[in-house]
Amino acid sequence: MQSSPNSRALCSFYASELLTQVPETPMKSIKYMDKEIINLKKDLMRSRFLIQSVKIGRGYFTILREESALKKKQQQLQKLKEEERHKFQPARKMSEIQYQDILLSSCARINGQMNRHPGKNMSGVC
């Protein structure tokens, strides 16, 4: 087989094309990578714990069932807390003394404004 000059040029074109291609996935942010590293460390610690537990005689599937039951219980507790937080809470009744104090302080404020503006007629208020 003979190689033509065109095939060499075409081959070098494809080689340069491969070198200049931009990667498909964009670079992930540093915060995202840090979170991934932390998650990997947690998974590694859990795996080591499971391996050690199995070595000393605990059943692997027993451990997994215990973990899933614990996780389910925690989710139920979280759900109950959320429901309690979002449950309708009626307005609290104010005692008569608090109501009178608020009424008197608002009347005193209005009377103070009447003294500053003598031309305005605010009769009937307090």
Nearest to 70 by CA among 46, 103, 92: 46
Ranges of each domain in the chain: 31-85
Rounded to whole angstroms, the Cα distance separating 115 from 109 reads: 10
> H/E/C letters for each residue in 90-115?
CCCCCCHHHHHHHHHHHHHHHHHHHH
Rounded to whole angstroms, the Cα distance separating 53 from 62 reads: 11
Give the model confidence (pLDDT) of 69-115 as tens digits: 999 999 999 999 999 888 887 776 766 667 777 777 777 777 666 55
Give the model confidence (pLDDT) of 1-56 as tens digits: 455 555 555 455 555 555 555 555 567 788 899 999 999 999 999 999 999 988 98
pTM greater than 0.85 (yes/no)? no
Task: Give me the residue label for tokens 């449950």.
Answer: 87
